[in-house]
Chain A
Amino acid sequence: QTVVAQEPSFSVSPGGTVTLTCGLTSGSVSTSYYPSWYQQTPGQAPRALIYNTKTRSSGVPDRFSGSILGNKAALTITGAQANDESDYYCVLFMGSGIWVFGGGTKLTVL
């Protein structure tokens, strides 16, 4: 069974840049997986950040960007702020109507 893999945790300094990735245990992520990214803080519903690989959702600052890096989808945060400290999830479209979330990355800003 193919699993969507994300870094369990990541740390970035305030003002720094961080790239979170979303890969497959078997195969490469391409735009055909329509990767999207969600931010979730404790006790809150997820918030859409990026969809269809690199399109920012409404109201999302341009500090957030999406791409394909090598064989993975990537979410890059530039100029990290304290309120970026959250859990970040990617989700991939696997075909036949099936979507699979990654395990999430806990981002710490310190």
Chain B
Amino acid sequence: EVQLVESGGGLVQPGGSLKLSCAASGFIFSGSAMHWVRQASGKGLEWVGRIRSKADNYATAYAESVKGRFTISRDDSKNTAYLQMDSLTTEDTAVYLCTRVEGDTATKEFDPWGQGTLVTVSS
């Protein structure tokens, strides 16, 4: 079964840091681009960023709202992607979901999706 499971969410103070994990199973992780998407309570989906495969030098891209504060990485030996979040603000409070693009191409869909992990930034 193709599956993604996020973990690492929790309560963090403004200005703090948190690192999320996304564990993958059931597909060839190393050949996929991994994306992070977030959703604040009652709001829409917001693309956060992505990391490409080794074949594309693990290239990363980020939304302007998180650029310079968030860093995406991956460990293909552990089939896991990560989202390091620094300098957090209350605006970053959301459920964070990971998803993949098979074959690392814009012509494929985001599938599957994890169920997400909740990050709450509050003092």
Chain A interface (Cβ within 8 Å of chain B)? Answer: 1, 34, 36, 38, 40, 45-48, 50-52, 57, 87, 89, 91, 93, 96-104
Q: Considering the chains assembled together, what is the distance between the CA atoms of A83 and B109 in angstroms?
A: 22
CB–CB B108/A52 < 8 A: yes
CB–CB A48/B45 < 8 A: no
Is B86 an interface position by the 8 A CB rule?
no
B-side contacts of A104, CB under 8 Å:
44-45
Chain B contact-residue range equals 20 to 34
A-side contacts of B107, CB under 8 Å:
34, 51-52
CB–CB A45/B110 < 8 A: no
Of B37, B63, B114, B116, the most chain A CB neighbours within 10 A belong to: B37
Distance (Å) between the CB of A24 and the closest chain B CB? 15
CB–CB A98/B63 < 8 A: yes
CB–CB A99/B47 < 8 A: yes
A-side contacts of B115, CB under 8 Å:
45
CB–CB A45/B97 < 8 A: yes
CB–CB A97/B47 < 8 A: no
Chain B interface (Cβ within 8 Å of chain A)? Answer: 35, 37, 44-47, 50, 52, 59-61, 63-64, 97, 99, 106-116
Q: In terms of DSSP, what is the predominant structure of the interface of chain A?
A: strand
Distance (Å) between the CB of A73 and the closest chain B CB? 14
Of A1, A45, A87, A102, the most chain B CB neighbours within 10 A belong to: A45
Q: Considering the chains assembled together, what is the distance between the CA atoms of A10 and B29 in angstroms?
A: 38
CB–CB B46/A101 < 8 A: yes
Distance (Å) between the CB of A56 and the closest chain B CB? 10
Q: Which of B50, B108, B109, B110 contacts A97 (CB 8 A)?
A: B50
Q: Which of A1, A48, A89 contacts B44 (CB 8 A)?
A: A89
